[in-house]
Structure formats: C-alpha cells, structure tokens
Amino acid sequence: MENNTQTVEELIPQVKVGIIKQLNIEITPEALDENTALFGEGLGLDSIDALELIVMIDRDYGIKIGDPKEARKVFQSVRIMAEYIQENRKK
C-alpha cells in the first residue's frame, strides 16, 4: 500500500517504462516526453494500443476502465495518465 503515496512526478518514469514495455515501442523512457500526445500526431498510438494500456493500468494499479472512449481521455499523455493513476489507483 505504500505505493499509493507515490507522487505524480515519481509515477511518470514508471508509467513511461510501463507503456514502452506493454506496447513494444523501440524508444528509451527518456526519449518519451511526458507531455507528448500518445495518440494521433505525437506517438501515433491507435485503438488497440488503448486496449493494451487499459489492461496495463488494471493489472498494475487496479484501475478498471470499462469504456475505451473514456480511456482515450485518460491516455492523452504520460503526465495525464500519471495524474489519473495517482488519483484513482487501488494498488
């Protein structure tokens, strides 16, 4: 439960590593800017990546997102994701 006290700044590098691993992206965590858009222009992720990330935040943080459309709002950038995780995490 001590993880729940992690700050957004502490979560950011962890989320970066998680995304890169889950989506098999060939970049270093440092090269992924926390404010870059993950979908569309930016990193260019698509709807299947969104599904992969939904599984990731459920598995790693206990957050369930039932609607892929809602997920796209959460997955706007690494920072927004980290903020959402910090607020909603169950583990």
Partner 1 sequence: MSRRIFITGYGIITSIGNNADENYQSLINRKCGFGGLEILDTIHKQDLPACEIKLSDDQLCEIAGVSLKQGYTRTTLLGIIAAKEAMRMASLTPAEIRTAGLLSATTTGGIRELERHYYPLQDPFQHGDFEVFTDTANPGEHSERMAEEFGMKRYIATVSTACSSSANTIMLGARLIRNGELETAICGGTEALSKFTINGFNSLMILDKEHCRPFDISRKGLNLGEGGAYLVLQSEDMVQRSGKTPLAELTGYGNTNDAFHQTASSPDGAGAFLAMNMALNTASLVASEISYINTHGTATENNDLSEGLAIQKLFGDRVPPFSSTKPYTGHTLAAAGSIEAVFSILAIRHAVIFPNINFNIPMDELSITPEKELIEGRPLKNVLSNSFGFGGNVSSLLFSAV
Partner 2 sequence: MNNTNYYINGLGIVSPQRTFDNNRFLQEIVSYHANVLSAIAPDFKEYINPIQLRRLSRMLRIGLTAAIICIRDSGIAKPDGIITGTGYGFLNDTAKFVSEMLAQEEQHVTPTFFMQGTYNALSGLVALTLKCNGYNNTYVNKGFSFETSLHDAMMQLNEGNLKNFLVGAYDEADEVQYKVNSRINHYKKHHINSLELFEHNTDGSLQGETAAFFSISKEKGQECWCIVKGVRMVFRPYSLAELEQELDDFLLKNKTATGDIDLLINGVSGDPHNDHFLIELKQKFFQQASEVRFKHLCGEFCTASSFGLWLGASILKKQQIPSAVQFNLVSSPRPIKNALLVNQYMGRNYSFILLNKNV
Stretch in the footprint of partner 1 (CB under 8 A) among 11-19, 22-30, 50-58, 75-83: 50-58
Give which of partner 2, partner 1, none residue 68 binds (C-beta under 5 to 8 Å, depending on kind): partner 1
**Least separation in angstroms between CB 68 and partner 1:** 5
The DSSP output letter for 24 is T
- The amino acid present at 24, given as its one-letter code, is N
Distances in Å between the Cα of 51 and the Cα atoms of 1, 31, 48, 88 are 26, 23, 5, 18
Report the residue from 8, 23, 37, 80 that binds partner 2 according to the rule CB under 8 A.
Answer: 23
